[in-house]
Amino acid sequence: MSLLVVCEHDRGVLSAASLEALTFGRPLATAAGLDLAAVVIGAGAESVVEGLGAYGAATVHVASHPILVDFGPEAWGETVAQLVRSTGVSAVLACGTERGNEVLAQVAARLDQPLVANCRAVEPSADGWSITRVQWGGSLLEDARLTADVQLITVAHHVVEAEPAETSAAGEVSAFAPELDESLARTVVADRVVLTQGITLSTAPVVVGGGRGVGSAEAFAPLEELAGELGGVVGCSRAVTNNGWRPHRDQVGQTGTRIAPDIYIASGISGAIQHWVGAMAAKNILAINTDAEANMVTRAGHAVIGDLHQVIPAITEEVRRRRGS
């Protein structure tokens, strides 16, 4: 019996979210008395197999079929459902990304089993799994108990940091050929558009964020300068995009991008819950605000109470001084 982790990849490039899912799944499998297995699906899957054993996967199922050329939720969902039926999988886990949640929703429908999405903590037991999951975009935590023939869960993105196992597992490769009908190719990737190059808001090690307190589109120039010095990017609050100062792709929050940088410098941002949901996975948060009672200030690990138009340039100058530039 095993716990199966659905690993996402894009044309042979494994997603970091999949390594988070494997990291989350290791202690869960141990607690449930299950082996940890992984499945990679479609064209390019073979290239991501190597290394999954280092994250605890004893078996790596490689699913292939002529219609599994690119991502498709119906085809991927049916593939996982068939794998569950044929190998006696007791539980299936994926990361709570858009793809992960969509695929497991397909699996749940095909197996007629319940799905609990965006979990933060899971404790297995003989009479059901106790689960804490994120609701309302992160503003609410819900405790639930899952009782099912096959446990289906997704783990909230950035709940854990991806780490290899202390001892590598075998990572034995097992080929799997699902029986798929052409009708399952209902949703397919028709084209891809490259919006950005280099580091992005979701992958940047440093994010310098600006809110309504920045004052204008032009006033983001010092934030861009600081981000450039630190090898990061600029983000913003919803108020900024609503004012047309920055494009939506720069927005951090529930309706924007969820970030997990080494440090998030939040300047002139009040810290509404919708913004906090997108920023709370940051390892360190520095808030710069004139209001010492602002939500972002009270939640941040570090804060400077002052005018961002003075503080941001001062930080940039100090960074340059220490670098001798």
Q: Give the model confidence (pLDDT) of 242-285 as tens digits.
A: 999 999 999 999 888 889 999 999 999 999 988 998 898 899 99
What is the β-pairing status of strands 13-14 and 9-10?
Answer: antiparallel
Q: What percent of the chain has pLDDT over 70?
A: 97
Confidence of residue 138 (pLDDT cuts 50, 70, 90): low
Mean of the per-residue pLDDT values for the chain? 92
Residues 44-99: tens digit of each pLDDT: 888 889 889 999 999 999 999 999 988 899 999 999 999 999 998 999 999 998 89
Residues 141 and 278 both lie in one domain? no
User: Encoding tokens for residue 79?
Assistant: 């593939």
Residues 39 and 121 both lie in one domain? yes
What is the β-pairing status of strands 285-289 and 263-267?
Answer: parallel
Q: What percent of the chain has pLDDT over 90?
A: 74
The structure's pTM equals 0.76
Residues 77 and 221 both lie in one domain? no
User: Encoding tokens for residue 143?
Assistant: 């405790």
Per the domain annotation, does 148 fall within a domain? Answer: yes
pLDDT of 282 reads: 93
Contact call for residues 239 and 309 (beta carbons, < 8 A): no
Per the domain annotation, does 162 fall within a domain? Answer: yes
Confidence of residue 231 (pLDDT cuts 50, 70, 90): very high
Tell me the CATH number at 308: 3.40.50.1220
> Using CB atoms within 10 A of its CB, is residue 195 exposed (0-12), middle (13-18) or buried (19+)?
exposed
Residues 281-292: tens digit of each pLDDT: 899 999 999 999
Distances (CA, A) of 14 to 20, 24, 167: 11, 17, 21
Per the domain annotation, does 54 fall within a domain? Answer: yes
Report the domain count for the chain: 2
Mean pLDDT of 297-318: 97
Per the domain annotation, does 98 fall within a domain? Answer: yes
Per the domain annotation, does 197 fall within a domain? Answer: no
Tell me the C-alpha distance between 31 and 151, whole Å. Answer: 14
Per the domain annotation, does 226 fall within a domain? Answer: yes
pLDDT of 234 reads: 97
Residues 151-200: tens digit of each pLDDT: 999 998 888 989 999 998 989 999 999 999 988 988 878 777 765 567 88
pLDDT of 262 reads: 95
Which residue, of 122, 151, 184, is where some domain finishes? 184
Per the domain annotation, does 135 fall within a domain? Answer: yes
Instruction: Domain of residue 210: give its range.
Output: 206-323
Pick the closest to residue 308 from 322, 283, 290, 323 (CA basis). 290
Tell me the CATH number at 89: 3.40.50.620
